Structure 1
C-alpha cells in the first residue's frame, strides 16, 4: 500500500487483514491493491490499474469491519474485469453518457454483492443487491443490465461510485496508465490467475459466484468449432495423409532407370473415422452437438460424405454409418464407456484420421493408432478430492490433438 499523510493507514491495514481472514482466496488480490489518498472520492473507487482511491474522511467515519467488506467489494470489480465488460456492453448496445455508466456500476455491484457478504464480512450500508433492484440472485452484470432500468427513486443510488474500474469511464482523480503504482497487464493477469487457482484448489471455501468466475478465468471461452475444424483440416492435409503409390503414372525418376517402371506418389482424398461417445455420461444436448460436429467435419474434408464413417460407442462399438445426412443419424448407446472398442472398429476401415467426440471418461488405447487422432472433449467441471488435493483427472493421451468443446 502507498504511504500517504492524511489517511489512517493503520485502520486500513486492519481492515485488509480482516478481509484476508474472512476471504483467504482473495489475499493475493487484496495485497496487490495500491491505496491512493484522494479527497475527491466520496468513499472508495478503483481504476483498472489496481489503484484504490480512498477518501480520508470516509475511512475516519467507517468501522474496520465495514471497510473490510468494501475492500473485498472493490477488488471484486477488478478481478471480474467489470471495466472491460462495461465497455463491451456499451459498444454492443450503443450506450453512452454518465447515467448509463452509473447503471453499469450498479449492475456490477449487484453481481458482486449477491453472495459477497456474511461468513465474517458485514453488509455495508447502502449495498446494492439483486433484491434491491427487484431481480433474482445468481445473475451476471450483463443479465441485470438487460432487466434493470432507472425508475422513479432510483436516482438515489447515484452516490454509488466505485470508479473507472467498475464501469470503464475515466474519473478526474485517475492517475492513468503512466501514474505511479499501477499494475501492468501481465501483472493484473497474474493476480487473477493466482486467485482463480486458489479458488479451484479449495472449492468448498468460495461461494458459487466465485467458483464460476474461477472456472472461466482458468478456462476462457474459445472458438472451439473453429479450432476443431482447423485441427481436422491440418490433419487431413498433413504429409502422408491420403497418399499412395500408383503405376498409372510412372515416376519421373523412371527415365534414369531404363527398363524399370517406378510408381509415382498419388494423393487421394483422406478417409475419416468418427467415433461418438454415446455412454450414459454424455447428455442428449452433447449428442446433438456431436452430430453438428460431424457436419463440420464433412465440410473440413470438402463435403465428401463418402469419405466419412461414423461409429457410436459406449462399452462396445455399434453400427458403422457411411455418412449420408448427419442430422438423421441414430446414435446407439447409453451404457458404460470404453472407446478402445471404437478405435478398434474404426481402424478396420483404414482411416487417415480418427476424430473422437467424448467426455473423456473412458479408457484409452495404450498405443497410438497408425493415423492422426483428434479428440473433441466435452467440457466437464474440474474433479476434486478432499482426500487428495493434488488429484488430476485423466486426460486424453498425448498422441491425440485435443480440442475442448463447449
Structure 2
C-alpha cells in the first residue's frame, strides 16, 4: 500500500487526484491470486471467514488499492493485486472487511450529522481514524502487515482506542499528508464514491444479511476467547449486547401495562363518589388510580447464563424508573423450578438470585399472584425454556425473552431434542439481545 495520489489542498477541503501509470494499468484482475489471498486470510483468521466470503469482489481501476462500500462489495485495483504478495494481500482483505464489521460507515454518518462534518477532507480524517482503530492489533500471528499501513503509533497516537476517540486527536494537515492516498470506500467513512455501484447495484447484501454476517462473526469470536485480539473481543461483546432499542421497548411495554385500564385502580372512601348526591344518607366510594405495583419474575434456572442474569438486574432498575422511580412498588421473585421468596426492591444489586435447577415459571406466576398486595403487572425475564400457565393471569404480563439464535446451542435440560414453548399469546413479548428488537 504505497502513496499513489497527489493532494491538492484548498481552503475548503482536500481534493484527491489519481496520478501515475500504475493507476492506469491495462492488465486484467488476477482473481486467482485475489482468491488465494482471501483463503489465506480465512485460514489465519477463521472467525472472520464468513465475513470474508460474504464480500463480492468488483474490478475497479479507479480504486488506488482495495475498497469496500456499505453494501459489502469489494472494489479491487488490478495493478494493486499484481504487485502485492499474497500474504500482504490477505492482510488487506482482513482490513477492508473489518471496516464493514465494525460499521465504520454508519458511525461516520452519525458523527457527521452530530458535528456538522462535511467534505472529503473530514471523511478522509474518518477513514484514517477508522484505520487506526483496526490496525493496532489486527496483524501478526500469521497475518502479514501490508506495507504503508496506517497505525496509531505512526500518527503519534495511543493504541487501543476507537475511531471516535482518534478523531478528537488529529486534524488534516502536514502530519497527515502521507496518508492522503487512502481510499477504503464508503464502507470506511460513509461517503459514496462515483465508482461505487450504489444501493441498486448487483451483488449487494441487504441490511438483514449484513446483520446475519456480523452475528456469525461475533459468535465465532466468542467461541475463541483465547486467540482473538482484545479489540475484536470488545467488538463481539458489543455486537451481542449493543445499545439496543429493546430496552426502550421493554420500558414502553411496562409503562403501557402499568397505565392500562384496570391497572393500579381501586375504590376508596377517601374521596367520595359524585354519585353519592343521588343516594341520600349513603357514601359511595370513588374509583382512584393508585401507583401500579410490579412483580419481576427472574428465571434463575441453569439454562440462563450469568450475563443474562446481570442484564435482568439492570432491567429491574429500569422498570423501577418506568413506574415513576418508586422502588417500593417493585418486587423481585427469583424462580427456577420453585419460587419460595419475594424480595422487596431496595437496590437491584442486593437481590440474591438463587437457583440453578430446572425451569417452571408456573411456580413463579403462582407465588407472584399469591403475594400481598397483588401485582398490577408481572414482568418475566426468561430464556423461554419453561412451561407457562394454562390460563391468563388476572393482571397484565410482559415477557423479556433472552433469545436463543441457534437452537443447536441452546440448553437441553432433560432432552437433547427439547424445543421450548413460545410465550403465550396473552403476554407482551420483547426479545432481549437480538440484532433487532421484535415486538408482539
**TM-score scaled by length of structure 2:** 0.65
Offset of residue 126 of structure 1? 1.9
- Secondary structure at 2:64 match in 1: coil
1:33-52 → structure 2 map (5 Å cutoff): 33-52=55-74
Whole-Å separation in 2 of the counterparts to 1:58 and 1:92: 36
Offset of residue 55 of structure 1? 2.3
1:102 aligns with 2:128: no
- 1:12 maps to what in 2? 34
- Secondary structure at 2:153 match in 1: coil
- 2:83 maps to what in 1? 61
Higher mean C-alpha deviation, range 101-110 or range 156-165: 156-165
1:310 aligns with 2:331: yes
- 2:423 maps to what in 1? 398
CA distance 1:333–1:353, change in 2 (3 Å): closer
- 1:160 maps to what in 2? 182
Q: Is the 8 A contact 2:30 2:81 kept in 1?
A: yes
Match of 2:215 among 174, 183, 196: 196
- 2:5 maps to what in 1? none
Whole-Å separation in 1 of the counterparts to 2:317 and 2:211: 36
Match of 2:150 among 125, 128, 131: 128
- 2:293 maps to what in 1? 272
Offset of residue 176 of structure 1? 3.3
Q: Is the 8 A contact 2:68 2:188 kept in 1?
A: yes
CA distance 1:268–1:393, change in 2 (3 Å): farther
Offset of residue 229 of structure 1? 3.1
- 1:183 maps to what in 2? 204
- 2:397 maps to what in 1? 373
Match of 1:290 among 302, 305, 316: 316
Offset of residue 102 of structure 1? 1.1
Match of 1:221 among 243, 249, 263: 243
- Secondary structure at 1:32 match in 2: coil
Whole-Å separation in 2 of the counterparts to 1:17 and 1:129: 25
Structure 1 unaligned regions, length at least 5? 250-265, 322-327
- 1:257 maps to what in 2? none
Q: Is the 8 A contact 2:58 2:74 kept in 1?
A: yes
Deviations 1:195-233 (A, max 9, x none): 522541562064443344345445553234531232124
Q: Is the 8 A contact 1:383 1:393 kept in 2?
A: no
Q: Is the 8 A contact 2:362 2:389 kept in 1?
A: no
Deviations 1:251-270 (A, max 9, x none): xxxxxxxxxxxxxxx89768
CA distance 1:172–1:230, change in 2 (3 Å): closer
- 1:230 maps to what in 2? 252
CA distance 1:25–1:343, change in 2 (3 Å): same
Whole-Å separation in 2 of the counterparts to 1:143 and 1:32: 29
Aligned-residue Cα RMSD (Å) equals 4.6
Whole-Å separation in 2 of the counterparts to 1:168 and 1:313: 46
CA distance 1:405–1:32, change in 2 (3 Å): closer
Offset of residue 38 of structure 1? 3.0
Offset of residue 131 of structure 1? 3.1
- 1:210 maps to what in 2? 232
